[in-house]
Amino acid sequence: HPARDMQDTFYTEDGNLLRTHTSPIQVRALKELKPPFKIIAPGRVFRYEEVDASHENTFNQVEGMVVGKDVSISNLIYTMEELLNQVFGKKMTVRLRPGYFPFVEPGFELDFKCMVCNGKGCSVCKHSGWVELLPCGLIHPNVLKFGGLDPKEWTGFAFGLGLDRLVMMRYGINDIRYFNSSNLRFLKNFQ
């Protein structure tokens, strides 16, 4: 995963690495659960990256994975659209862009129309009208093999949802950094 690069990680003084994403749960699930199965695994992650209105170095991520027979890109798209429709209570406009993530093939970036500016362009969406929400894709056959499954028999999809960014859009918050601030008036809104 790109976030494992030396320049993208935080290490403690004793040399331990703070987790950069929740994806490692995938192999554990593949080894411990009998397919078909679905998992959701939330976690706090830490990345050494440039902080701006839509990027923070400490945030909450939700890993999702579905493994079954004949799981396809159509299943992935439907699940992601339905998740967003339920969270926002309305039909959301989304797009998929090709993306490289070593644990999925093919890999995508799922974006949705910026709700802060309604797609017109602002600092949150970097004036593009779109907000990157999650990397996703079909689980790479090698990941399935490593987890002890036959990729000719089982397929699946996985995603890593940035929960802070989702909440940010849901409530029209224009800066993700507020979530890690000490502004109690802001933070009390999310108790």
Q: Quick check: 140 and 104 in contact, CB under 8 A?
A: yes
- Asked whether residue 1 is domain-assigned, the answer is no
- Asked whether residue 3 is domain-assigned, the answer is no
Q: Is the pLDDT of residue 109 over 90?
A: yes
**CATH no. for residue 28?**
3.30.930.10
Q: Is the pLDDT of residue 4 over 80?
A: no
For 35-63, give the secondary structure using H, E and C.
Answer: CCEEEEEEEEEECCCCCECCECCEEEEEE
Residue range 10-59, pLDDT digits in tens:
888 998 888 888 888 888 899 999 999 999 999 999 988 888 888 899 99
pLDDT at 5: 58
Show the domain range for 184. 22-190
What does the DSSP 8-state code read for residue 118?
T
pTM: 0.86
Please state, in angstroms and as integers, the Cα–Cα distance from residue 63 to each residue in 21, 24, 168, following that order: 8, 9, 18
- Asked whether residue 10 is domain-assigned, the answer is no
- Asked whether residue 2 is domain-assigned, the answer is no
Q: Half-sphere exposure (CA, 13 Å, Cβ side) for 186?
A: 14
Count of the separate structural domains present in the chain: 1
pLDDT at 115: 86
- Asked whether residue 26 is domain-assigned, the answer is yes
- Asked whether residue 5 is domain-assigned, the answer is no
Q: Is the pLDDT of residue 2 over 60?
A: no
Position 140 confidence tier, pLDDT thresholds 50, 70, 90: very high
Residue range 54-77, pLDDT digits in tens:
889 999 999 999 999 999 999 999
- Asked whether residue 38 is domain-assigned, the answer is yes
State percent of the chain over pLDDT 70: 96
Q: Residue 95 corresponds to which tokens in the numbers above?
A: 């797009």
- Asked whether residue 62 is domain-assigned, the answer is yes
Q: Is the pLDDT of residue 6 over 60?
A: no
Q: What is the rounded distance in angstroms from the CA atom of residue 6 to the CA atom of residue 40?
A: 28
